[in-house]
Amino acid sequence: MRHLMNPLDFSTDELEELFSLAEDISHDTAKYAHVCDGKTLATCFYEPSTRTRLSFESAMIKLGGQVLGFSEASSSSAAKGESVSDTIRVISCYADICAMRHPKEGAPMVAASRSGIPVINAGDGGHQHPTQTLTDLMTIRALRGSLSGFTIGLCGDLKFGRTVHSLIEALMRYKDIKFIFISPPELRIPDYITDELRDAGIEYEEVIKLEDSIGDLDILYMTRVQRERFFNEEDYVRLKDFYILTAEKLQLAREDMLVLHPLPRVNEISVEVDDDPRAAYFKQAQYGVYVRMALIMTLLGLN
Ligand code: NCD
């Protein structure tokens, strides 16, 4: 039985197969409408989410399966003190596969170790968010045609942003990728990641101003400041509007640069940017459904 905890759990060849399947699903979704007939997905979300939970549910429904679950810890037995290990053993009796989001780093991994069904990490604290990374890679592959040979700027909360951590680790396996980390000093990328990049001989730069590097980028990955992971509100208020991508700043960027964002957006991209052809974040959300359909099929051995 296979779980997905980290984007590196799949080799690049396996990812290629997954993306090809997701691409085929995107071209002819109806062909897959009964692949998961009789199967059930449980979504166990101990932390708020719109996209991830609903895109998993949408993915399972489009495959003909059923969904059940909870969307906050307070409406589950966690509120009574049940451990994730016990919860997953019980969920294993009700469903065939589980997507779990948890505010504590490593919780889905603990669940996986006790589970009778495949578990997908749908975000664990500030650690990893592998299915967002699959979404991001699929978007880049679809819109640029390749997962190698580009400069990507990651901008915003690089300290707490789990989507950033997962994406960097996943991209490190592809060729000729240069990273530019754009953040205020307080929210800089964790040292363990820059150490990994240095050890692997991968080029990266750290900068504070978006305007200084936007012109060099093939992809700009914007992120929101992760309010829920701050220890005090004052720091959040001081940092939350550090970066705002406006139409004016976008004039400094290349004509074919892609703007990605895992969403939800707060203020970091002004709405006027949504109409720019370079804005790809809503397309990205659509790719997220296809790639989750492909993932559910793969983990259930139905591909
Ligand atoms: C991200 C997350 O949950 O980490 N959202 C998502 O899954 N699309 C990003 C975020 O919350 O900022």
- Centre of ligand 1 to C-alpha 124, Å, is 11
Give the C-alpha separation, 78 to 88, whole Å.
11
Q: Ligand 1, from 47, 50, 52: best to mutate by most atoms within 8 Å of Cβ?
A: 52
Instruction: Dump pLDDT digits (tens) for 82-138.
Output: 899 999 999 999 999 999 999 999 999 999 999 999 999 999 998 999 999 999 999
**Ligand 1 atom nearest 263 alpha carbon:** 8
CA angle 53, 55, 59 (to 5 degrees): 120
240 in Cβ contact with 186 (< 8 Å): no
Q: What is the largest CA-CA distance in the chain?
A: 55
Ligand 1 pocket, 141 CB below 6 A?
no
Residue that the structure tokens 């975000």 belong to: 123
The reported pLDDT for the residue numbered 202 is 98
pLDDT at 101: 97
What percent of the chain is modeled with pLDDT above 70?
A: 100
Closest atom, ligand 1, to C-alpha of 288: 8
Q: Is the pLDDT of residue 282 over 90?
A: yes
Beta-sheet strand order (sheet of 97-102): 66-70, 40-45, 97-102, 119-124
Task: Give nearest CA residue, ligand 1 atom 11.
Answer: 264
Tokens 């997220």 belong to 288
**pTM as predicted:** 0.95
The DSSP H or E segment spanning 121 is strand 119-124
Tens digits of per-residue pLDDT, 137-169?
Answer: 999 999 999 999 999 999 999 999 999 999 999
| CB contact at 8 A, 154 and 181 | yes
- Per-position b or e across 269-280, b if 16+ CB within 10 A of its CB: beeebeebebbb
Dist CA 297 CA 302 (whole Å): 5
Helix (H) or strand (E) holding 89: helix 84-94
User: pLDDT value at position 78?
Assistant: 80
Report which residue type is found at 154: L
For 162, the 3-state DSSP assignment is helix
Cβ contact 211:252 at 8 Å: yes
Tell me how far apart the alpha carbons of residues 104 and 126 are, in angstroms, rounded to a whole number: 8
- Distance between Cα 154 and ligand 1 center (Å): 14
Cβ(128) – ligand 1 distance below 6 Å? no
Q: Are strands 150-155 and 119-124 parallel, antiparallel or unpaired?
A: unpaired
User: How many angstroms separate the alpha carbon of residue 56 from the centre of ligand 1?
Assistant: 14
**N-to-C CA span, the chain:** 15
Residue type, 8: L
Rounded to 5°, angle at Cα 300 from 69 and 45:
20
Query: Contact 208/246 with Cβ under 8 angstroms?
Result: no
For residue 52 and ligand 1, the question of a CB distance below 6 A is answered with yes
Does the beta carbon of 283 sit less than 6 angstroms from any atom of ligand 1?
Answer: no
What's the pLDDT at 303?
92
Domains of the chain: 7-128+288-299 (3.40.50.1370), 131-284 (3.40.50.1370)
Tell me: pLDDT of 185 over 80.
yes
The confidence band for 255, taking pLDDT boundaries of 50, 70 and 90, is very high
Give dist(CA 200, CA 204) in Å, integer. Answer: 11
